[in-house]
Amino acid sequence: MRGSLSVTVDIEDWYHIPSVCSSPYSVYRSVNEFFQKWEGRYDFLTEPTKKVLDILDEFKVTATFFVVADTVKHYPGLVESIVERGHELACHGLHHACKIDPNTKERLMSAEEFEQRTLLAKRILEKTSGERVIGYRAPSAFVGGWMLDSLESIGFKYDSSVSVNSLYNKTDSSLKTVSSFPYHPLKSGLEAGDDRSFVEFPWAYYQNVLRIPASGGPILRFLGAPLVLNGLIQSLKRGHTIFYFHPLDISCTKFPSIGNNRPFYWCIKGNLVEGRIRYILKNLNNVEKMCLRDYPEML
């Protein structure tokens, strides 16, 4: 295998997902509205994040954590606990809101509004951690080329949202020139080819008749570890690649059943999925790993 691997973790809670908050089909228009109206327990994130930190220590992995910035307000100490263990802090939006329409891929906000919100998120994360934040991942991976221009203009050096596969395309581009290794995107687009310094780190995929994302989240929960591991091994032969998962994937607690248009979304998670993450990390124990800020072109 010639590439190195970046293990990345997305820090968000159950109400950040698009069926509950901040998308055209969510129950609550925004996370702020959720906190105004919700009276039950909301924190299902702290406990599995602790577990993830222990697993990463066990496998001696320094990871990149893409964190939704409003967790700083609602989960005091959580971001600090990540940074204290030496991991990289990166930005996963202010409230995990969708920036483009999941169906039409049209913008849901202007570039100016996106820049304002994302800069605020960056500043919150930098103030809390005392470290510079240079990486971004689009909430739910809905990303448009215009967003990368904005990210570059407000001081980000890389994005890691693009997934090339046969199941879905959550972007506004065809992605014909994109594989599973890092590239410099064209201005105002997501295709490869420009010589600008901004870098996109696309996700791993398994190539058979179809291309399947080799990632955590629903793929790992529904399709299992061997497919994801094989996709990572294939992608590492192409170059550097990404593995991502969420602490929510390994939570053993039942989440509130709201946002019910996806009743099976969380039916597989917990210890079973934790075992799958361990299986993948164990099998990739000898692969060189680095967090994204340490990728040579970031230095």
Return residues touching Zn ion (CB under 5 A). Answer: 10, 12
Smallest separation, CB 217 to Zn ion (Å) = 8
**Choice between 129 and 215, CB closer to Zn ion:** 215
Rounded distance between C-alpha atoms, residue 6 and residue 242, angstroms? 5
Nearest distance, CB of residue 8 and Zn ion, angstroms: 11
- Give the chain's largest Cα–Cα span: 51
| Cα–Cα distance measured from residue 214 to residue 276, given in angstroms and rounded to the nearest whole number | 13
- Distances from the Cα of 176 to the Cαs of 168, 171, 179, 258, 280, in angstroms? 14, 12, 8, 37, 28
**What is the C-alpha to C-alpha distance for residues 250 and 19, in angstroms, rounded to an integer?**
20
State the nearest-atom distance from the C-beta of 189 to Zn ion, in Å. 23
Which tokens is 164 given?
Answer: 């090339």
Whole-angstrom CA distances from 60 to 56, 73, 213 are: 6, 29, 25
Supply the minimum distance, in Å, between the C-beta of residue 99 and Zn ion: 12
State which residue, 68 or 178, has the beta carbon closest to Zn ion. Answer: 68
CB of 141 to Zn ion, least distance (A): 8
- CA-to-CA distance for 68 and 2, rounded, in angstroms? 32
Q: Which is nearer to Zn ion, 72 or 236 (CB)?
A: 72
